[in-house]
Structure 1
Amino acid sequence: MKLLYWLDEWTNLPRDEQQKQTPFTGGDLLGDVYVKYHIIDANKPLLFTFSPAGTNYQEHDLTDDFSPWAYKLAKKQDVNIIAFQHLGISNWFRHRNLLFFIEQLAPLVGGFKERLGYGLSRGGFAVGAFANLLKLDKVLLFHPVSTKNIEKAPWDDRSSTEIAQKFDWTGDYHDLDLGHAKGYIIYDPTNRIDRAHAKRYGQLNHLRVFGMGHSVHATYLNKFGFYKDVAVDFIRHQQIDIAQFRLQTKTLRFKEDYYRRLNKANIKSAHRQALLSKAHNILIDEKAAHVQEHQAKIDIQPLLDVALKHQDEHPNDAIQLLEVAQQLAPDDPLVEHKLKQLK
């Protein structure tokens, strides 16, 4: 637990002495969770991240180059980062070593400018469960699970709930406890379980994305860097550009999969399916008009696709491509937004 010893000394030093000892980077194994940290400046935000489901890393994967979920993204935004990566498939951040570490860590992070939390699904549960303990100021949660305590969430009948019952869901940090944290929760209201979990986060700003589903790998959102763009806005500015968020989610309306998801979610409601059918017919006409309107315009999508694909490894090349795209389509808001992020 090198971080605890280092922070205990570092937080009591004068600022000029603190800066001489940064950056401080390292990692520790906490039972079945790996934590990696990169501390650069107490006057910059400190971001806590917890990994979502979908990975099956094991202890033998923990090389010096290993990066937990969202760790590299946070480093690029020039903030302090403490990232927790679960090991194994069925892991809900319940190991006693992890809980003890966070309890010891909590009083050592009060001197940072602002404390942020970011998590998806299972990771969102952890952010919510530890938010009050860590005195988080702002959080960004994508379709989080509030708890797997079946008495508090009897409507969560997913298979993951039954598997999770091997853990203690009555002890410490088993349920959301946001404290004074504000921020955002993003979810699909047509998913009944996600909607019910989200309802328990009453103090957060609810941003609903119809048809998103409960998945961190929604290809039609990831194609445009949706998750990453929202996270970057939050990390950099501690808030989300709502107008840009609405613009990005609007792309869903032109995808047939969007309506297939909604129809499936509302299969038991004839009234809602009738409304969806009407909306779908309107969309078909709107989409045809949209295509006709833009037929005469130069197609900049290939430039966007290449720029987005290589923006991490070759940001300067991506900027040049986006600048060309902007010359061809000067009023395109997506191009303008991506250029602002990369510059």
Structure 2
Amino acid sequence: MKLLYWLDEWLTHSRSQQQVQLPMVGGDLVGDVFVKYEFIDVNKPLLFTFSPAGTNILEQDLHDDFAPWGYRLAKKQQVNVISFQHLGKSNWFRSRNLIFFLEQLAMLLEPFKYRLGYGLSRGGFAVGAFANLLQLDQVLLFHPVSTKNQAIAPWDDRSSTALAQQFDWESNYYDLDLGKAKGYIIYDPTNNIDRLHAKRYPELTHLRVFGMGHGTHATYLNKFGFYKQVAVDFIRHQQIDIAQFRQQTKTLRFKEEYYQSLNKANAYSKHRLGLLSTAHNILIDEKEAHVQEHQAQIDVQPLIDIAIKHQDDHPQDAIQLLEMAQQLVPNDPSVEYKLRQLL
């Protein structure tokens, strides 16, 4: 546990001397979790990231350049970072070695005055469970999981819940404990289990994205920069521009390719396909209203003027311009009238 020894010695210096000793980069293997860290500036935020399911690394996969989930993103934003990467598939950050490490670590972080947490699904559970211990100020959670304790969340009947019962869900840090932390939780309200987990985070700002599912579509969403841009804003500014976020998600949801990808990813589940169909129908109505709203603001008069100007010499071009105008503003009487004249 090189990090603990280094921090313990580092704390004996004055703040100015602490800064001189940075940057500090390293990695530790703590039981079934790999920890990688980089400290660059004692005056900048310290970000904690915990890996989600699907990043199933084994100990033999580790190498000098290996970066846990979220680590490179933090480096690009030039903040201090400690990233926790679970090893193996069924790993919920419940090992006694890790908990002891975190308890010791929490006592050695006094120089870092502002602390952030970022996690998705299983990683979001860890951020929420250790937030108070690590004295986090702001958190960003995607696809929330508050606990796998079946007495607290009996409605979480995912297969991952049954697998998770091999761990202790009654000792310390088995449930969310945000402490003073505020921040954001982002989830799909049509996913009933996610919605119920999210309700257990009333302290956070809830941002809902219909049809995003529970993390099975991260690659597709990343195609549109969804996760990355939200995380970058959070890390850089410790807040999310909610108006911009809603505009971004509305644009994403209007893409038919988005729903095609979601349906393909959930082809095995009639229940999820039903939820997606409900969300899609809601968005079809919303999209139509959105298009009508913008059509009302479109001025096609310049297209009509050009068509009239060239209708004698280039009638086919004039017709194409008017047809384009008709697509922009269907049922506009002036466009229909001119088209009837030329056809």
Shorter-chain TM-score tier: 0.7 to 0.9
Q: CA RMSD in A?
A: 2.8
Name the aligned partner's letter for residue 161 of structure 2.
Answer: T
Tell me the amino acid that sits aligned with residue 280 of structure 1. Answer: I
Larger Rg: 2
Asked whether the equivalents of residues 211 and 280 of structure 2 are also in contact (C-alpha less than 8 Å), the reply is no
SS of the aligned residue for 1:197 comes to helix
Aligned partners of 1:17, 1:281: CA distance in 2, in Å? 61
Shift of 1:53: 0.3
Q: Which amino acid aligns with 1:245?
A: F
Q: 1:131 to 1:247 in 2, by over 3 A?
A: same
2:6 matched residue in structure 1: 6
3-state secondary structure, aligned to 1:202: coil
Structure 1 pair 258–204 and aligned structure 2 pair: CA distance change class (3 A): same
Contact 1:120/1:216 (8 A) holds in 2: no
Matched with 2:287 is 283
Contact 2:32 2:95 (8 Å CA) reproduced: yes
- Per the alignment, residue 318 of structure 2 pairs with none
- Structure 2 letter corresponding to 1:5: Y
1:266 offset after TM fit, Å? 8.8
Specify whether residues 145 and 227 from structure 1 end up closer, same or farther in structure 2 by C-alpha distance, changes over 3 A only: same
Deviations 1:41-78 (A, max 9, x none): 21110000000000221111111111000101101111
Structure 2 match to 1:149: 149
Does the 8 Å CA contact 1:190/1:266 hold for their aligned counterparts?
no
1:253 is aligned to 2:253: yes
Query: Does the C-alpha gap of structure 1 residues 85 and 277 become closer, same or farther in structure 2, counting only changes over 3 Å?
Result: closer
Equivalence map 1:298-317=2 (5 Å): none
Contact 2:55 2:69 in 1 (8 A): no
Query: What CA distance in whole angstroms lies between the structure 2 residues aligned with 1:29 and 1:154?
Result: 34
Alpha carbons of structure 1 residues 96 and 294: separation in structure 2 relative to 1, 3 Å? farther
Change (3 A) 1:266 1:217: closer
Are 1:231 and 2:231 counterparts? Answer: yes
**Cα distance in 1 for residues equivalent to 2:193 and 2:73:** 29
Q: Counterpart amino acid of 1:13?
A: H
* Worse-matched range after superposition: 124-133 or 275-284: 275-284
Where do 1:1-343 residues align within 5 Å?
1-215=1-215, 217-256=217-256, 267=274, 277=281, 280-281=284-285, 283-284=287-288
- Distance in 1 (CA, whole Å) between partners of 2:107 and 2:234 is 24
d(CA) in 2 for partners of 1:283, 1:87: 43
Aligned residue for 1:313? none
Q: Secondary structure at the match of 2:133?
A: coil
Aligned partners of 1:227, 1:68: CA distance in 2, in Å?
Answer: 16
Q: CA distance change for structure 1 residues 13 and 207 in 2, over 3 Å: closer, same or farther?
A: same
SS at match of 1:85: strand
Measured at CA, do residues 225 and 12 of structure 1 come closer, stay the same or move farther in structure 2, by a change above 3 Å?
same
Shift of 1:111: 2.1
CA–CA separation in structure 2 for the residues paired with 1:294 and 1:259: 31
Q: CA deviation at 1:110?
A: 2.4
Alignment check: 8 A CA contact 1:259 1:280 kept: no
Identity across the alignment (%): 70
Structure 1's unaligned 5+ residue stretches are 296-343
- Tell whether the 8 Å contact from 2:224 to 2:252 is kept in structure 1 after alignment: no
Residue identity matched to 1:120: L
Gaps of 5+ in 2: 264-269, 301-343
Q: Which amino acid aligns with 2:187?
A: Y
Structure 1 stretches of at least 4 aligned residues deviating more than 4 Å after TM superposition? 257-268, 275-279, 284-291
Give the AA of the match of 1:198. A
Deviations 1:152-181 (A, max 9, x none): 000000000001000000011100000010
